[in-house]
Amino acid sequence: MFDPSRVNAFAQRETPFYYYDMDLLERTLAAARKSADTLGFHVHYALKANFNDRVLGSIRDTGFGADCVSGNEVRRAIEAGFDPDKIVFAGVGKSDKEITYALSEDIFAFNVESIQELEVIDALAGALEKRARVALRINPNVDAHTHQYITTGLDENKFGIAHWELAEAMETLRGCPHIELVGIHFHVGSQITDLNVFKSLCVKANELNNWFDERGIRLKVLNVGGGLGVDYYEPDKQSIPDFHAYFSVFDEFLERKPGQEVHFELGRALVSQCGSLVSRVLYVKNGIKKNFLIIDAGMTELMRPALYQAYHRIENLTADTGTYGDDTKHYDVVGPICESSDCFGKEVLLPLTRRGDLIAIRTAGAYGEVMASRYNLREEIRYVYSDQP
């Protein structure tokens, strides 16, 4: 991924920074678009994964819609040029201010997560003399077999309306004159690599789709969420996820009624592999039990390892240019933040590393830049694009 000329250019830049491979991003988006279009599926990009301006511009130009989980994400999508008629607003805790803004912009739909939220949206829409389109987010109680912090579709999770609340939800809807029900919505988790999870989701979605149909309610939209995982261990072997296999599961197992649309919310799968966090080694501390590489990026630039104990492939770019020998050593790669959790990887096997070497933390295009913070009064994050000199 990183040729020697690129590494030499990196050496002249202030670190840390996010590097975005725009060519890989374009190829990933094209692959996803082709696979979705072949089956007549609609894709909304999950802004929470990455809302970098250049990245958003490429996704907008691909023709995808936007999946937002805050009022400011709705605003960013509109400012980036996404069609409001392709914007959906999810989130378990939408404020009145956020709902009012989204209503004023005539977005496509709200993914509603509680009965009380239906009542609030109806009242706010009435005050604006608007009619709000909604999809009911239903908790399908499907285990995503992923990290507990990114599992969202179990009964124990805070998201969605429980299946046993559906009758009450429909009764509430009948008393909401300013709401139009357009569909149902599901999301079971993130970083899912076992496609059988999506088969299980289809089974539950079919049951619920039939539940509505038996009551004379023909839904326009089945929104099955996202969650497709990526390869963090070998990012160059499968830099573009197998979108065909992913969409084919839903084409085979999801039972669509005549005229129904199937919507997806993809984030990580579209942007993860195009992004890397590039850092510089500040100090090498060799000890009896541990050898530490202290780099100038920290959990303030990439939170995932500290928050989820997530794995990212770590590479020594300077050594990869071929100027070093064959000696290797195991290092704990840590950052400068005053927290013991500020660690990117333990016992990472790397070429013998020196102060000043450039380090790349791979597959950081999703939930990297967007989760950066100013803790310890860190500087604002920088970014570099592959089409820059």
Burial-class residue 139 by CB neighbours within 10 Å (0-12, 13-18, 19+): buried
Q: What pLDDT, on the 0 to 100 scale, is given for residue 151? A: 44
Residues carrying CATH 3.20.20.10, the chain: 22-270
Residue-wise DSSP of 285-331: EE-SS-EEEEES--TTT--HHHHH-----EEEHHIIIIIS-S-EEEE
Distances (CA, A) of 233 to 31, 205, 278, 341: 21, 32, 17, 21
- Which pLDDT tens digit goes with each residue over 261-300? 999 999 999 999 999 999 999 999 987 889 999 999 999 9
Q: Enumerate the CATH 2.40.37.10 domain ranges in the chain, comma separated.
A: 4-17+274-385
Res. 214 pLDDT band, cuts 50 70 90: very high
CATH 2.40.37.10 fits 4-17+274-385, yes or no: yes
Residue 326's pLDDT is: 81
Beta-carbon contacts of 184 under 8 Å, excluding residues fewer than 6 positions away, are 135, 136, 137, 138, 205, 208, 209, 212, 219, 221, 222, 223
The CATH H-level superfamily of 22-270 is Alanine racemase (3.20.20.10)
Contact 273, 240 (CB under 8 A): yes
Quick: pLDDT tens for 356-389: 999 999 999 999 999 999 999 999 999 999 998 7
Q: What is the pLDDT of residue 112?
A: 96
Q: What is the pTM of this model?
A: 0.93
